[in-house]
Amino acid sequence: MGGSYSDLNTFFFTFAIILLFSGWTLYYACPFICRRHGARRFNEGRFMVASACFKRALFFSPRDSSLWFCYALALRRSSRLDASVEALQRAVALKPDECQFYYECADTLCALGRYTTALDVLHRVELTRRPTVELVLTRAAIELEARRFRDVERDCQWLVRHGGDLLSAQAYCILGIMKILTGRTEEGEFDLDVSYLLDPQSSITRAYCAAILYHRGMNRQTVRLCDAIIKTDPRCAIAYYYRGVANRRIGACQESERDLAKSQHIIAESQNDDACRKDRFFVRALERIEQAILGLSDSVS
């Protein structure tokens, strides 16, 4: 009788140990499982489900800054921008030396129209480290959206000094089109000439030249130039845009609608690229500048 009682105790003790071990294993594995499931749903475009998965993972790992970052991305894609900003602020608090968190936070604040707060966020990065190309490009894009043209000029001049020929060409392009659209035509054309000399093969440079033709009323020439650009670079959203608005002026309404839709599709598609790419803030900054210029073009035309 005593032997069977001892065996029963041993069985329950072993069962308790296995249960405890399984519980701890499940506790530590659950964040990984939820995170992996969230990443899969994010890549599938199911952002609401992804945000729920990341939130569940945060219950187990509330001090994981990268998990807060993933959660913020999913919230933003679900159009829950205020909640995304709060999640990014948590990520920044946990890892204040990670620049990507600041860039994403500034970008989300821009989407809310809070440009001054977005620039303050970027200023916090400058207090701790030297300016980078990504930082200055992101700031220039925000300033352009906020119509702070003097600040855009300052940042473009910094890019000219520190960015190399290719980035200098981009900076001169931005300056040129901005000056033309704000009435400083001769200065703008000079900057675009410099941009072309630095990088004569760039589709962006040629697209900005198409913008000059369009704003001078030379619509058929604009269409022909944009046709040539799109043949060599079928992903140039700004070329589709100017071909679209030029076609609208000459009465080709169907072609115009198709080109304008294509322009918006390229921009939207590029924003849905893999969220883990290291250069995504550099690419997004250029896209924001392109969108800001398109918005400025609309307001002028």
* Residues 111-121: tens digit of each pLDDT: 888 888 988 88
| pLDDT number for residue 34 | 75
| pLDDT number for residue 87 | 92
| pLDDT number for residue 23 | 43
| pLDDT number for residue 90 | 92
Lowest mean pLDDT among 44-48, 49-53, 58-62, 291-295: 291-295
* Residues 75-84: tens digit of each pLDDT: 988 889 899 9
Those residues with Cβ within 8 angstroms of residue 226's Cβ, 6 or more apart along the chain or in another chain: 207, 210, 239, 240, 242, 243, 246
| pLDDT number for residue 85 | 92
Q: Which amino acid is at 199?
A: D
Instruction: Give the length of the chain.
Output: 301
Whether residue 86 has pLDDT greater than 90: yes
SS3 assignment for the chain: CHHHHHHHHHHHHHHHHHHHHHHHHHHHHHHHHHHHHHHHHHHCCCHHHHHHHHHHHHHHCCCCHHHHHHHHHHHHHCCCHHHHHHHHHHHHHHCCCCHHHHHHHHHHHHHCCCHHHHHHHHHHHHHHCCCCHHHHHHHHHHHHHCCCHHHHHHHHHHHHHHCHHHHHHHHHHHHHHHHHHCCCHHHHHHHHHHHHHHCCCCHHHHHHHHHHHHHCCCHHHHHHHHHHHHHHCCCCHHHHHHHHHHHHHCCCHHHHHHHHHHHHHHHHHHHCCCCCCCCHHHHHHHHHHHHHHHHHHHHHC
| pTM for this model (two decimals) | 0.63
Compute the half-sphere exposure of residue 78: CA atoms within 13 Å on the CB side of its CA: 20
| pLDDT number for residue 68 | 92
| pLDDT number for residue 300 | 53
Q: What percent of the chain has pLDDT over 90?
A: 5
The distance between the two most distant Cα atoms of the chain, rounded to a whole number of Å, is: 105
Averaged pLDDT score across all residues of the chain: 76
Token pair, residue 100, equals 């990507």
The Cα 215–Cα 300 span in angstroms is 9
| pLDDT number for residue 82 | 92
Domains present along the chain, CATH in parentheses = 24-91 (1.25.40.10)
| pLDDT number for residue 283 | 56
Whether residue 161 has pLDDT greater than 80: yes
* Residues 225-248: tens digit of each pLDDT: 888 888 877 877 778 888 888 898
The residue among 105 and 287 whose pLDDT is bigger is 105
Whether residue 147 has pLDDT greater than 90: no
User: What average pLDDT does the segment 95-122 reach?
Assistant: 86
User: What average pLDDT does the segment 190-219 reach?
Assistant: 73
Highest mean pLDDT range out of 32-41, 49-58, 262-271, 284-293?
Answer: 49-58
